[in-house]
Amino acid sequence: MKSGVPHPQSIPEIVSIVITQAVRGRARGESLDAAFEARLQRLRREELEPLGLALLVRELADGRCRFIVKDMETGAVRTMLDFSEGETLQGPKLNSPANVPQPGAEPVHA
């Protein structure tokens, strides 16, 4: 029996797209912090929470913004997206081998 829930290691591509658009809009001054947070709340509610995932946002001292997707049940980090001050995505893309936990690997906690 197949359910509509993606494979447990899969994170919807829309997550990366929405985060990228939100960061770009904020960096260009097109959206206020309230609008930025509203987009992230909608992403949490509609895409991540139904999959048992949480989204954390960390503003880093060096100007980067880090988005962490965690498994709500285990606390394991499923992926991290870092954006530089100039809105550039840094690091591996969602679901790349570097971002997807390997079977038998210890979960990473943030």
Going residue by residue through the chain, which has 110 residues, state the pLDDT in tens, using 9 for 90 and above. Answer: 334 444 455 788 999 999 988 888 888 877 778 888 999 999 999 999 999 999 999 988 888 889 999 999 999 999 999 887 665 555 444 444 444 444 444 444 44
Does the pTM exceed 0.75?
Answer: no
Q: Which residues contact 109 (CB under 8 A, 6 or more apart)?
A: 75, 76, 77
CA–CA distances in Å: residue 54 to residues 2, 36, 63, 73, 82: 24, 17, 23, 10, 16
Residue 39 has phi, psi (to 5 degrees) of -65, -40
